[in-house]
Amino acid sequence: MTSEVIENREVAGGIFRLTLAPDPFPATVAPGQFVMVRTAEGMDPILSRAFSIHDVVDRKIRILYRVVGRGTGCLSKRKKRDGIGLIGPLGRGFTIPKTMKTAWLVAGGIGVAPFQLMIRALRSRKIHTTLFFGARTAEELAWYRDLEGQGVSLVVSTDDGSLGEKGKIVDVFRKQILQYQVDQTCRVYACGPRPMLSAAARLCRDLKVQGEVSLESEMACGLGTCMGCVVLTSTGYQRVCREGPVFPADSILWE
């Protein structure tokens, strides 16, 4: 698709929210899917970058990203009305069982990106939802109030204690989840750095609750052709871009 930039706004230090109007617009977008984005006008960088679909509003796609290298640096300079090429939606998103009544979303840093769209899907099914959102400092959570008032409970933490509870978000989640009656109507969804996902998967195993994790990986094609984003699972190597990026938490061999 060719997409027009509607807005490309910095919402926190080095974190941008990009709004695109794709033409044609994808018929369906599942929470947890991603798009491959051409970050610059020319061929440098030559490869597209993978970004979770943050939200879909009025036939427009939003992407939340952090500037970490040349590609995202180029993307941060794109202006209103610029044209950007993208492919998507791609990959396997989150699943929402019909019997589910409680959802716990665990996000680390920019791993919160796919959860705005997920929150919309959960709210439409009247599922009680809590978002646990952690980052290193308050600056990285500067825009978190955008998530308030959306019918979900919100718990935030920072590594340095500058906002919310002090500590890793999985540890905060562990303390709070022990207050609940955990059963098969509950599910955990996590996205963030790999150590955080591994800890979330262990917690799911200990509490015997089902969980899904969205993996981050560098991708060259995003279509499953290059085999550059494989991850080892209980059934062998699988492609993050094709069989993922969302996997059952207990299927990933973390060590």
**Closest alpha carbon to 233 in 220, 217, 244, 219:** 244
**Closest alpha carbon to 36 in 91, 111, 112:** 91
Q: Is 187 exposed, middle or buried, given 0-12, 13-18 or 19+ CB atoms closer than 10 A?
A: buried
* Torsion angle in degrees (nearest 10) through CA of 231, 234, 237, 242: -70
At residue 24 the predicted structure's pLDDT band, cuts being 50, 70 and 90, is: confident
Q: Give the mean model confidence (pLDDT) for residues 234-238.
A: 93
Q: How far apart are CA 167 and CA 198, in angstroms?
A: 17
Per-residue model confidence as pLDDT tens digits over 116-132: 999 999 999 999 999 99
Q: Give the mean model confidence (pLDDT) for residues 219-242.
A: 91
Q: Quote the pLDDT of residue 33.
A: 96
Q: Quote the pLDDT of residue 95.
A: 95
| Upstream peptide bond of 97 is cis (omega within 30 degrees of 0) | no
pLDDT above 90: residue 25: no
Q: How far apart are CA 120 and CA 58, in angstroms?
A: 13
pLDDT above 90: residue 42: no
Q: Quote the pLDDT of residue 178.
A: 82
Report the greatest alpha carbon distance in the chain: 54
Query: Please, what are the domains in the chain?
Result: 2-90 (2.40.30.10), 102-215 (3.40.50.80)
Q: Quote the pLDDT of residue 43.
A: 75
Q: Give the mean model confidence (pLDDT) for residues 55-61.
A: 91
Q: Quote the pLDDT of residue 97.
A: 93
Per-residue model confidence as pLDDT tens digits over 178-212: 887 788 899 999 999 999 999 999 999 998 999 99
Q: Quote the pLDDT of residue 60.
A: 93
